[in-house]
C-alpha cells in the first residue's frame, strides 16, 4: 500500500494536494468525454478508443524527485513533478491525435502549459506519444487552485509498445541489455509503419464511401 508518510512534513497538506489532483483528473476526464460525444454527434465518428487515468504513487514520486536532485517534499512534488496526475487517451489513428490535441487546446478553462510531440520527434528509445501539460482550475470553498494534469495521446499500437517499454525499464532499472533495446527500437519502427498503413487504409475506406 502506498505510504504518504514519505511526505511526512505535513499529512494534511499532502491529503489536500492529493484531493486536488484527483479532482483535476475528474474535471479533465469529463471534458474529454464531452469532446468525444460532441465529435461523434457532429462527425459521426469516435476518435477516442479509451481513456486511462491515474495519480502517481508516493514511491514513484519520491524516486522521480531524487532522480532530478530534489528533496522529498509536497512543495517540490507540486512544483517539479508534472505527471502526478496523468490521463492517457488512446486513439485508432495518428490523425486523431492532432485533432484531439487541437480540441483540448481550445478549451477556455484549460491552460496549456507545454507540449512535447514525441510522434514527430520520437525519443531515442523509439517512444512515440503526444504530451500536453495543462492546468485546470479546482474551485474550493475558500480559493481556486490551478492544478496540473499531464495528458498523453497515442495510438493503440503506440500504447502497446509503450507498455512493453515500461515493463522493460522497471525490470532492468533503466539499464536493459543492448540486444533488448535494439529489438525494442526495431519494434518502434514496425509500429510506425503499422500506424501509417492503417491510416492510409482508413482514408481509402472514407474516400470509397464518398465516391
| Separation of alpha carbons 106 and 110, rounded Å | 8
Q: How far apart are CA 195 and CA 119, in angstroms?
A: 11
91, 155 Cβ separation under 8 angstroms: yes
Here the cell at position 128 is 512515440
Single out the residue of 12, 153, 167 nearest to residue 96, CA to CA.
153
C-alpha cell at 176: 536493459
Give the integer Cα–Cα distance in Å for 42 and 122: 33
Residues designated catalytic: 150
Amino acid at each position: 500500500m502506498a505510504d504518504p508518510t514519505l511526505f511526512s512534513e505535513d499529512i494534511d497538506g499532502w491529503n489536500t494536494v492529493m484531493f486536488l489532483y484527483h479532482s483535476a483528473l475528474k474535471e479533465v476526464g469529463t471534458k474529454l468525454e464531452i469532446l468525444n460525444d460532441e465529435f461523434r454527434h457532429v462527425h459521426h465518428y469516435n476518435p477516442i478508443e479509451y481513456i486511462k487515468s491515474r495519480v502517481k504513487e508516493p514511491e514513484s514520486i519520491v524516486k522521480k524527485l531524487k532522480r532530478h536532485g530534489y528533496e522529498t517534499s509536497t512543495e517540490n512534488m507540486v512544483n517539479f513533478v508534472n505527471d502526478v496526475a496523468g490521463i492517457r487517451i488512446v486513439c485508432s489513428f495518428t490523425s486523431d491525435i492532432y485533432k484531439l490535441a487541437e480540441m483540448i487546446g481550445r478549451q477556455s478553462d484549460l491552460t496549456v502549459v507545454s507540449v512535447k510531440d514525441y510522434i514527430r520527434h520520437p525519443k531515442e528509445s523509439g517512444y512515440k506519444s503526444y504530451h500536453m501539460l495543462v492546468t485546470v482550475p479546482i474551485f474550493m470553498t475558500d480559493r481556486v487552485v490551478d492544478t496540473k494534469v499531464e495528458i498523453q495521446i497515442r495510438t493503440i499500437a503506440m500504447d502497446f509498445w509503450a507498455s512493453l517499454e515500461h515493463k522493460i525499464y522497471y525490470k532492468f532499472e533503466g539499464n536493459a541489455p543492448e540486444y533488448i533495446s535494439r529489438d525494442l527500437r526495431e519494434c518502434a519502427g514496425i509500429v510506425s509503419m503499422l500506424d501509417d498503413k492503417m491510416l492510409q487504409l482508413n482514408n481509402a475506406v472514407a474516400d470509397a464511401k464518398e465516391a
